[in-house]
A = this chain, B = another copy of it.
Amino acid sequence: MNINTNDFKDINPGDRVLMGPGPSNVSARVLQAMSAPCIGHLDPYFLSVMDETQLLLKYLFQTENPFTIPVSGTGSAGMETSFVNLVEPGAEVAVCINGVFGLRMADIVRRLGGQLIRVDGEWGRAIDPEAVRKVVRGKNPKVLALVHAETSTGVCQPLEDIANIAHEAGALFLVDMVTSLGGIDVAVDRIGIDVAYSGTQKCISCPPGLAPITFGPAAIKALESRKSPVVSWYLDMSMLRSYWGAERKYHHTAPINMIYALREALRIIAEEGLEARFARHKLNHRALVAGIEAMGLAMLVPESERLPMLNAVCIPEGVNDMKVRKALLTDFGIEIGGGLGNLQGKIWRVGLMGHSSSRKNVFLFLSALETLLNAEGAKIKTGALKEASAVYAET
Contacts and interface: CB of A to CB of B under 8 A. Distances in A.
Contacts of A261: 257
Contacts of A43: 13, 16, 329, 335
A216 interface: no
Contacts of A39: 13-14, 16, 18, 23, 335
B16 A40 contact: yes
A107 B12 CA distance: 42
B3 A59 contact: yes
A31 B37 contact: yes
A340 B16 CA distance: 46
A111 B77 contact: no
A80 interface: yes
Contact of A34 (B7, B230, B257): B257
A11 B260 contact: yes
Interface stretch (A122-130, A264-272, A285-293, A316-324): A264-272
Interface in A66-114: 72-77, 79-80, 84, 104, 107-108, 110-112
Contacts of A264: 11
Contact of A13 (B5, B12, B45, B80): B45
B38 A74 contact: no
For the complex formed by this chain, how many copies does it contain in all?
Answer: 2
Given A201-B38, A253-B75, A257-B207, A45 B14 contact: yes
B257 A111 contact: no
Interface string A228-261: 0111111000000000000000111111111011
A233 B23 contact: no
A264 B58 CA distance: 34
B77 A73 contact: yes
B207 A255 contact: yes
Interface residues of A, number: 87
A201 B46 CA distance: 16
Interface stretch (A49-57, A164-172, A217-225, A370-378): A49-57
A253 B351 CA distance: 15
A212 interface: no
Contact of A335 (B8, B32, B40, B104): B40
A115 to B, nearest CB: 15
A13 B56 CA distance: 19
Contacts of A250: 340
Nearest to A19: B40
A1 B59 CA distance: 6
A77 B33 CA distance: 25
Given A5-B270, A41-B23, A253-B199, A231 B16 contact: no
A143 interface: no
A209 B255 contact: yes
Nearest to A83: B233
20 contacts: A1-B63, A8-B263, A11-B49, A11-B260, A12-B36, A13-B36, A14-B37, A14-B39, A16-B37, A23-B41, A23-B253, A25-B37, A34-B257, A38-B207, A75-B252, A76-B234, A76-B251, A77-B252, A112-B231, A207-B256
Given A111-B229, A207-B257, A208-B254, 5 more contacts: A8-B270, A13-B36, A13-B49, A74-B253, A76-B234
